Amino acid sequence: MADTLREKKNTKRDIFARVIVDISAEAVDKYFEYRIPEELRDEIKTGTRIRIPFGQGNAQRTGYVVDITDSPDFDREKLKDVSSVIKEAYSVEAGLFELAAFIAKEYGSTYSQALKTVLPVKRRVRKNRRREDPVKAIEELSTVERRGADMGEPDSEKKKISLKALSPNREQEHIIGDLIRRYEKVRTEGKAISEGKRPYIEPSLIHGVTGSGKTLIYIKLIEYMQSLGKKTIVLIPEISLTYQTVSALSSYFGDRISVLHSKLSEGERYEQYEKALNGETDVMIGPRSAIFTAFKDLGLIIIDEEHDRAYHSDMTPRYDAREVARYRAFKEGAMLVMGSATPSMLSYKRALDGKYVLYKLMERAVRGAVLPNVHVTDMRAELEKGNRTIFSDRLHELISDRLKRGEQTMLFLNRRGYAGFVSCRSCGKVIKCPHCDVSLTAHNNWYFDRRTGRREGALLSCHYCGYKTYMPRVCPECGSKYIAAFGVGTQKLESMTRESFPDARILRMDADTTSSKGAHERILSDFAKGKADILIGTQMIVKGHDFPKVTLVGIIAADMSLYASEYDCAERTFELLTQAEGRAGRGDIAGDVVVQTYDPSHYAIVNAVKQDYESFYSQEAEFRRMLGYPPFVNMLSISMSCEDEGLLSEAALGLESALNGAVKASKLPEDTVIIGPVNAGIYKVNDIYRKILYIKHPNHDIIIRIRDSVRTFLRNRSGSDRIRLQYNWE
């Protein structure tokens, strides 16, 4: 009887934690249960980071509490006790754990990997009075002239403008009003969704030409959310856009905004995260990882330049920040607003299908501003008349004109480095990376050879694994001295521009010049303040930047992305060209764009020149529909990688055979399409070989089921523990 009473007493008293262990192996991708000791009961909540004994040896591991229960699923007598609470860790809202579960299920990662992505700050960092707030640092760099080119006002008076005084035009006013009305209707009527009975508003897509005033719409929506005590996340595709976005919003919202991105130090990230968690900020700005900001009262998620591929994470776990944002908005009853001059094919199709609400802005917001004049130059004709320089006659003439007039020019080339590759003219050998299946890129980084004491040639670098070596004096294959760099990168473009325009002040912005902390902001700030006449760069300079004195944009090689191996290369080319063209003439001075191409008749280039998105979408959609590509089917790519090439090939062929066998045996739907395995576009990276298998099917859930069976199949094969898998939705 006494034992029975004691058991009842213990049953009533004992509380258990369900814990995810901080180990990435799929074998432990599940929760484990631990008893919570009496002395830790008040400290442990959902989201708490703890130390636990794990495995037969009771090794101390880190774990995350995902649930607390008094009814464990396992024999309570066999459960171990939690060892301790990690004091410097924050408890995180349960909603972030839901996001981690979504990422793990949707993108095939382990729960532990997803948690590491969702929890951006793991440990407390000591306060440092000398640590500079990143928002204040940007404000100090930003130009004194506050202009409103993307918000409806010209910059002719060169004075600070109060953004609160800006008035939306008719198109903007309609969109702002309709979005607020829809949100209010959902809030007041309490429209329920099945998971959690929260209000839900359909996602919105704003399709506006470049310079049409999307920023002012964002500002008014953020202001509305502030009036309700709600928080906002503003996603931008790249760190390079942080400068402009913070400059625009800080003059309106003051110290109620924060930024979060990978260039911040651990201490800076911690402080920004802490401000959001404690309700000290209303707006978080940043690239894709900012979607995991721990706001408790999230009301609005804005995705600017929603078409951009930077919203896809190529790191483990792979995820699409747009889909994660869509899920989070759905679960928390927040409004999701996406904007772009060139919406992704998927988002535009969803809008046409009624899954998103579509809004359009067809005029530039600045009074009197018009889309730039676009000049298409056929570089084949330039060669025929003897012009072998990188500048067409038209572009050279217009650059000279802008320099005389004191206006600014942007030159866009989507390849960094000095030259694309180095090869021997005698035997044709291309100098490749010994660890990756790619040619080395020449960089104009001169060095002194210690043995000879002489100044030697350019440095060769691999843009995938970071391998570096020096430019050989002779061909390593045949010994010929006729070895040289071919192709053009941004470094070489800078050198050629200095030769052609020796009096011009030139800045270059690419991955090489922005590797140091604060480099993005310094370059953009100097250009905005007129400290340079010409800005040369890769695609990071054409994404949403707004410089009123830029009246000329030169697109050096418009075809560079047009004939890549990806099925969506035409879409990428159209986006890049349209965005690049949109940088010119955004103020009250007319702009010009020169598009240099070897294929001026391609529909991606023709429609980009006209900034005719609908015509491009119509032609590209027909191509995708006919060949069975997204967004008209679901396509999942399964990347398999291993350092053993033979083992990888055997496993990939075995998987393909098993999947096709399942289709023939009617275990999988007959309309399932299996493509591959094929070598990845770059077959070897850092001594690891890679193969890809593609799965197509109209039904999303069927592909998820196939993916899970793939995992089971490979787990049961010998040597499968050496093969790494990654899944990516196309």
Ordered alpha helix ranges (H), 435-581: 490-500, 519-528, 569-581
Is the model's pLDDT at 120 over the cut of 70? no
517-571: pLDDT as tens digits: 778 888 888 888 889 999 998 888 877 677 778 889 999 988 877 776 788 889 9
Find the CATH number of the domain harbouring 142.
Answer: 3.40.50.300
Same domain for 436 and 571, yes or no, is no
Q: How many angstroms separate the most distant Cα atoms in the chain? A: 105
Strands 59-69 and 49-54: antiparallel
Q: Quick one: which of 358, 348, 714, 415 has its CA closest to 560?
A: 415
645 in the same domain as 618: no
The DSSP secondary-structure symbol of 208 reads E
Model pLDDT, residue 453: 56
Kind and range of the H or E run holding 469: strand 468-470
Report the pLDDT value the prediction gives residue 206, as an integer from 0 to 100: 96
Is residue 6 in some structural domain?
no
CA atoms of 474 and 13, how far apart (whole Å): 79
CATH of the domain at 653: 3.30.70.600
* Cβ pair 672, 702 in contact under 8 A: yes
Clarify whether residues 440 and 406 are in a common domain. Answer: no
Contact, 220 vs 168, CB < 8 A? yes
Provide the H-helix boundaries in 124-206: 134-141, 170-189
Look at residue 651 and give its three-state secondary structure: helix
Residue 104: which CATH number?
3.40.1440.60
The residues pairing with 31 across neighbouring beta strands, listed in sequence order, are 20
**134 vs 609 pLDDT, higher one:** 609
pLDDT at res. 253: 84
- Do 139 and 198 reside in the same domain of the chain? yes
Q: Are residues 563 and 511 in the same domain?
A: yes
CB atoms within 10 A of CB 177: 12
How many Cβ atoms from other residues are within 10 Å of residue 83's Cβ? 17
Asked whether residue 58 is assigned to any structural domain, the reply reads: yes
pLDDT tens digits, one per residue of 277-287: 888 899 999 99
What's the pLDDT tens digit per position in 561-594? 777 678 888 999 999 888 888 777 666 677 899 9
Buried residues in 494-514 as b, exposed as e (16+ CB within 10 A): bebbeeebeebebbbbbebbb
Instruction: Identify the pLDDT of residue 303.
Output: 96
* Dist. CA 559–CA 623, nearest whole Å: 19
The answer to whether residues 22 and 82 belong to one domain is yes
Is there a single domain that holds both residue 411 and residue 430? no
Token pair 């990071």 is at which residue?
540
Mean pLDDT, rounded, for 35-46:
87
Verify that 393 and 448 share a domain, yes or no. no
Q: Distance between CA atoms of 650 and 620, rounded to whole angstroms?
A: 37
Whether residues 384 and 355 share a domain: the answer is no
Higher pLDDT, 511 or 207: 207
In 3D space, the residue among 627, 630, 641 whose CA is nearest the CA of residue 693 turns out to be 641
The span from the CA of 534 to the CA of 369, in Å, is 22
Task: Return mean pLDDT, the chain.
Answer: 81
Please work out, in degrees rounded to the nearest 5, the angle formed at the alpha carbon of residue 126 by the alpha carbons of 24 and 231.
Answer: 70
Confidence of residue 163 (pLDDT cuts 50, 70, 90): very low
Q: Tell me the two tokens of residue 500.
A: 């052609």
- pLDDT score at 606: 94
Cis ω before 677 (30° cut-off from 0):
yes
174 within domain boundaries:
yes
DSSP state of 51: E
Residue 130 pLDDT: 62
Is residue 141 located within the same domain as residue 112?
A: no
pLDDT at 1 over 70: no
DSSP state letter for 40: G
Taking 70 as the threshold, does the pLDDT of residue 139 lie above it? no
In a domain, residue 123? The reply is no
Whether 106 and 201 share a structural domain: no
Give the whole-angstrom CA distance, residue 53 versus residue 56: 9
The distance from CA 180 to its chain's CA centroid, rounded to whole angstroms, is 28
The pLDDT confidence band at residue 667, using thresholds 50, 70 and 90, is: confident
pLDDT tier at 299 (50, 70, 90 boundaries)? very high
Residue with the bigger pLDDT between 512 and 138: it is 512
Residue 644 lies in a domain: yes
DSSP 445: -
Nearest to 561 by CA among 574, 543, 579, 549: 574
Residues 411 and 425 in one domain: no
Measure the CA–CA gap between 154 and 210, rounded to whole angstroms: 15
Q: 320: closest CA among 62, 67, 631, 662? A: 631
Q: For the segment 628-660, what is each residue's pLDDT rounded down to a tens digit?
A: 999 999 999 888 999 999 999 998 999 999 999
Greater pLDDT, 491 or 219: 219
> Is residue 411 within 8 Å of 584, Cβ to Cβ?
no
Query: For the chain, what percent of residues have pLDDT higher than 90?
Result: 29
Closest C-alpha among 253, 245, 208, 263 to residue 226: 253
pLDDT band at 154 (very low <50, low <70, confident <90, very high): very low
Express as a percent the part of the chain with pLDDT over 70: 83
* Among 603, 626, 649, residue at a domain's last position: 626
Would you state the pLDDT for residue 240? 73
DSSP class of 471: P
Residue 500 covered by a domain: yes
Q: Where are the beta strands (DSSP E) in 22-121?
A: 31-35, 49-54, 59-69, 84-85
Domain limits for position 647: 634-729
Q: What is the total count of domains within the chain? A: 5
Q: Where does the pLDDT of residue 5 fall: very low under 50, low under 70, confident under 90, or very high at 90 and above?
A: very low
What pLDDT is stored for residue 144 in this prediction? 37
Please give the single-letter amino acid code of residue 701: D
pLDDT exceeds cutoff 90 at 343: yes
The answer as to whether 41 is a domain residue is yes
d(CA 109, CA 729): 13
Q: How far is CA 470 from the centre of its chain?
A: 32
Last residue of a domain, one of 432, 467, 488: 488
Tell me the per-residue pLDDT of 231-248, one tens digit each, with 9 for 90 and over. 999 999 887 777 778 877
Residues in CB range of 206: below 8 A, 6 or more apart? 175, 214, 217, 337, 338, 339, 340, 359, 360, 361
Are 333 and 344 within 8 A, CB to CB?
no
Whether 685 maps to a domain, the answer reads yes
- Chain center to CA of 299: 22
Given 361, 384, 404, the domain boundary residue is 361
pLDDT at 510: 84
Span 55-101, pLDDT tens digits: 888 889 888 887 788 888 888 888 999 999 887 655 555 678 778 88
